[in-house]
Structure 1
Amino acid sequence: MQPDYSSRAARIMARIHELAAISEDADGVTRTFGTPAFLQGRALVQSWCEAAGLATRLDGIGNLRARLVSANPRAKTFVLASHIDTVVNAGKFDGPLGVLMGLDLLETLRERQAALPFHVELIAFSDEEGVRFHTTYLGSKVVAGSFDHGWLTRADAGGITLARALEMMEADAARIADDAIPADDWLGYFEMHIEQGPVLWERQLPVALVTAIAGQMRVELTFTGMAGHAGTVPMDMRQDALCAAAEFILIAEQFALTHGRGLVATVGKLALSHAASNVIPGEVVCSLDLRSPDAGQLADAYAALKEYTEALAAQRNVALGWNLVQETAPAACDAGLNETLAEAIADAGHEVVALVSGAGHDAVPISAVAPVTMMFIRCYKGISHNPLENVEIADLAAAIEVADRFLARLAVDVARQQAEATAGLRG
C-alpha cells in the first residue's frame, strides 16, 4: 500500500496552525521561553505526544521529551528534535515544523509496529532562540551535557533570573546535570527545519542536505561621545556617537561584501540614549552578528573589524566599548548520516542539493557529542523570523517521504551492524 504522505502533511499542517494560535501577541507568533504562551504551547504538543502513546516527560530546563523504546537491550538512542520557542513576531514554521514532523514519524512507526534496533527520542527544545536570556541553545546544551550552570544567574529585561524562571515553570534545575544523554548512548541526531534561505524556493526543490552550520560571534558595541546642543556645537568639534556607529555599520557591511566566502555581517540593533531631534547623540549601543562556516575566516573577520572600529573611534574622539556576548564555532554534519540522508533524498526522486546553514540550530551543541544530520525544507521565498513564513503541502509531503526513507535505511544499517557485532562475539 502506498503511504499517504499528503494526508500526513495535512495533519502536520493543522497542528502547525493550532500551535501558532498560541502567542503572546496577536500580530505574529511570539512564544518566548518560559512565558505563559510558551507553557501553553508546550502543553499542547505534550498532549499530542501522549495521545500517540509515547512516554513523555519534562526535563530540568523545560524540554519536552517523548520516547519510543526499542526491544533491543543494547539499543542506543537516535534523537529527532527542534525547538518550540520563537523570536518576537515570528512565523509558524521555524522550529515547530521539525518537532511536529518528528511526532508524525513516531506516530507512523507505532502504527506500523516497527521493530527498531534503536530507541527514538523526540525532543521539543525549550529555548533555541535565546531571546529572553541572550543564551541560545539552552535546551540542547542540557541534552548535550554542556550547560553552564553560571547561566542560572542571568536575568531577563524584567530582572527575573533563569533560575527563578525555571522555578516559575515548575522545572527542577537541580536535575539538569542528569538530563544529558550520555555520550555512549547516542546513535545520532536528525533535525528537520525550513531552509530560512531562498535556494530551494528559487530552484523549486522540496528538500536539501545540510553539510555544515556556520559559526557565530555576537558583539555588543557602545560608542560614547559627548551629547550637545544641535545648534551650537560646530561640526568639526563634535563627538557624535551616532555618526561613529553609522560609519561602523557601513564598514561591517563593506567588509563582508569584500571578503565573501560565506561571511555575513549584520547590525540588527541600534539604541540611542536620551534621543532627541535637537541633541547630538552622546551614547549609542549597537549589535554585530558575524557568521561564517569557516572558523579561521570568522576569527580573522572578528579581529579585523575590532581593529577597524577602534581606529574609527579614536579618529572620531569617541570611546568604544566592545563586548563579545556569544561565540559559537562552526559545526560539520556527520558524513555517514549525511550519506544515508542523501540516499533517501535520491530514492524519493529528488535532486540532492547540499547547503551550508547560515542560521544556527540546536544541531550545533549536539554535534560536540553525537553525529548529526539536517534536512532543509523549502519555504516561501526563503522568508523566516517573519509572519510570512510558509511551507507548501506538497513540499512537506515530499519531506515526510524522505524522512521515512531515511529512518528505514538507518534501521537496516544499524540492524546489520548489530548482527555483525553479535556474530563477531560468537566467533
Structure 2
Amino acid sequence: MQHEYLARAERIMQRIQQLAAISEDAHGVTRTFGTPAFLEGRALVQRWLQAAGLPTRVDGIGNLRARLQSRHPAAKTFVLASHIDTVVNAGKFDGPLGVLMGLDLLERLVEQQADLPFHIELIAFSDEEGVRFHTTYLGSKVVAGSFDTALLARPDAAGITLAQALETMGADATKIPADAIPAAEWLGYFEMHIEQGPVLWERNVPVALVTAIAGQQRVELIFRGMAGHAGTVPMAMRQDALCAAAEFVLTAEQFAQAHGRGLVATVGKLAVSYSASNVIPGEVTCSLDLRSPSQAQLADAARALQGFAEGLAAHRAVALTWTLVQQTAPVACDAALNTLLAQAIAESGHEAIPLVSGAGHDAVPVSAVAPATMLFIRCYKGISHNPLEDVELGDLAAAIEVADRFIQLKMKDTTTSC
C-alpha cells in the first residue's frame, strides 16, 4: 500500500513540475490572475481533469470546476479546492498542490467506481492571492455567494478593470451570481495546503490538523510631506515622508513583538514617489498587514498603530492617509470535520498536531456557508512565497493516505447520517 501512495505522490510531483514551468518570468513561478501564463496553466489542469473522465467548466470568475456526481438524488456537495494563481516569484506548491491532490483523489474514486453518498466538486480557484486587483479570495467568494459586484469596476495597475480582464479571459461575469453553491446544498469543504510555516518541519511530522485561520487587516498608508533639494533644505526644516514611513515600519515590528500571542505585523510594500538620490522624499506609500487568531487583539492593534501613525505624522508635519483595504475575521474550522480528519491522521500512524494558520486561505469565505476543514502538509523549512518552496515525496505520500482515509470516513459518516 505504501508503494501505491509513493507512486501517486510521484505523479502529483510530475504534474507540479509541469505546471510550475508555466510562468510569467523565468526565475520563479508567477501566474497572476488572468495573465496568459495563468490561462495556459489553467488549460493544462483542465486537460488533466478531462483525461480523468471528469466533466469540467470555467465559471464567471475564471474558476476551473470539475464534478464527480453521486447517484443519490438528494445528495449534497462536498468541495475539494485550492487555488492555482500565485504571488510574484512564488514557489511551486502554494495552492496547486491542493488542487492536484484533489485530482488524484478523484482519479482514485473513479477507478474504484465508488458509490458516492454526496457529489464531489473539485475547484481550482482563479484568484486567492489577490496580487493583480488587491482582492483576495475572488474565486472562493463567488462560489460562497459573497462576491461584491462593485469589484468588477476595480482597476489593476495598468488601468484594466476586473470586468475587462474577465472579458479578455473569455469569462462571463453576468453568470457570477449563478455560480454560487447555495448554502443548503453544501455538505462541506476540504482544502489541502502546505503549512507555510516551520512547525512540521522542525518536528519532522508530515501533516497537521488546522483548527483555525487567523484574521487579517490590510491597510494602505500614504505619508505626504514636501519634496525638496537634498542639499539646500536644513534638516530641522524638512518634511521627509520617507523618514515618517521608516519610523512607522519599525514601530509596527516592535508593537507586534511586544504584544505577541499570535499577533504579527508586516510592511511588505514601500513606494517612494518620484524618487531620486538628491530629492527629499515628498510622498511615500506603504502597506501594513496585521494578523491574529483573536479578533479583539486584531482590532486593538489596528487602532493602536493608526493612532501612532497619526501622531508621528503630526510630529513630522506630514499628512497621513490611512485606508483599510481588506479585513477578514478569524475563522474556526468545523469541529465535526476536524474530528474525522484527526481520526484519518491517527489511523495513518501520525500525531494529529493542531495548528492555527497565520496565512489566509479560501476556506475563510467558504466557512461562512459550509463546514470547512484543512490539512497542512510539511514544507521545506516552512518556506513559502519563495522559489525555495518544496515538499518531500514521503510527506506527500503520507498526506495522500490521510486524504484517502478522510474521504472514506466522510462517506461512511454521510451514509450513516442519511
Shorter-chain TM-score tier: over 0.9
Query: After superposition, what is the alpha-carbon deviation per residue over 1:278-300, rounded to whole angstroms, capped at 9, x for unaligned?
Result: 22111111110001111111011
CA distance in 2, matches of 1:244, 1:212: 35
Matched, 1:202 2:202: yes
Identify the residue that residue 75 of structure 1 maps to in structure 2: 75
Name the aligned partner's letter for residue 375 of structure 2.
M
1:301 — aligned with what?
Answer: 301
Map of 1:43 onto structure 2: 43
Deviations 1:93-141 (A, max 9, x none): 0000000000000000010111111110000000001011110100000
Aligned equivalents of 1:286 and 1:27: distance in 2?
26
Measured in 1, the distance between the counterparts of 2:276 and 2:51 equals: 56
**Aligned ranges 1:48-63 → 2 under 5 Å:** 48-63=48-63
1:64 aligns with 2:67: no
Q: Does 1:267 align with 2:261?
A: no
Q: Work out the CA distance in 2 between the residues paired with 1:150 and 1:415.
A: 41
CA distance in 2 between partners of 1:394 and 1:368 (Å): 34
Q: Is the aligned partner of 1:258 residue 2:258?
A: yes
Aligned to 1:125: 125
Inter-partner Cα distance in structure 2 for 1:309 and 1:393: 47
Change (3 A) 1:321 1:2: closer
- How is 1:305-384 mapped onto 2 (pairs within 5 angstroms)? 305-384=305-384
Distance 1:89 1:208 in 2: 26
- Distance in 1 (CA, whole Å) between partners of 2:46 and 2:275 is 46
Find the aligned partners of 1:123 and 1:53 in 2 and give their Cα distance. Answer: 15
TM-fit CA distance, 1:154: 0.6
How far residue 277 of structure 1 moved from its aligned partner, in angstroms, is 1.5
Measured in 2, the distance between the counterparts of 1:174 and 1:274 equals: 40
> Unpaired segments of 5 or more residues in structure 2?
none
Question: In the aligned structure 2, how far is the partner of 1:284 from the partner of 1:63?
Answer: 36
CA RMSD of aligned residues (A): 0.8
TM-aligned CA deviation for residue 2 of structure 1: 6.5
| Distance in 1 of aligned mates of 2:413 and 2:273 | 60
Residue 216 of structure 1 aligns with which residue?
216
Counterpart position of 1:424: none
Partner SS for 1:4: helix
Gaps of 5+ in 1: 419-427
Deviations 1:247-291 (A, max 9, x none): 101110111001111100000011111212222111111110001
Measure, in 2, the Cα distance between the counterparts of 1:358 and 1:135: 18
What's the CA shift for 1:236? 1.4
Pick which of 220-229 and 96-105 moved more. 220-229
Amino acid corresponding to residue 404 of structure 1 in structure 2? D
Cα deviation digits, residues 6-36 of structure 1 (max 9, x gap): 0000000000000011111111111111111
2:276 aligns with: 276
SS of the equivalent of 1:355 reads: strand
Structure 2 CA distance for aligned equivalents of residues 317 and 159 of structure 1? 32
Residue of structure 2 equivalent to 1:86? 86
Which consecutive segments of 4 or more residues in structure 1 shift more than 3 A? none
Query: What is the alpha-carbon distance in structure 1 between the residues aligned to residue 165 and residue 278 of structure 2?
Result: 41
Which residue number corresponds to residue 165 of structure 2?
165
TM-score by length of 2: 0.99
SS in 1 for 2:277: coil
Q: Structure 1 counterpart of 2:266, which letter? A: T
1:66 offset after TM fit, Å? Answer: 0.4
Distance in 2 separating the partners of 1:274 and 1:128: 32
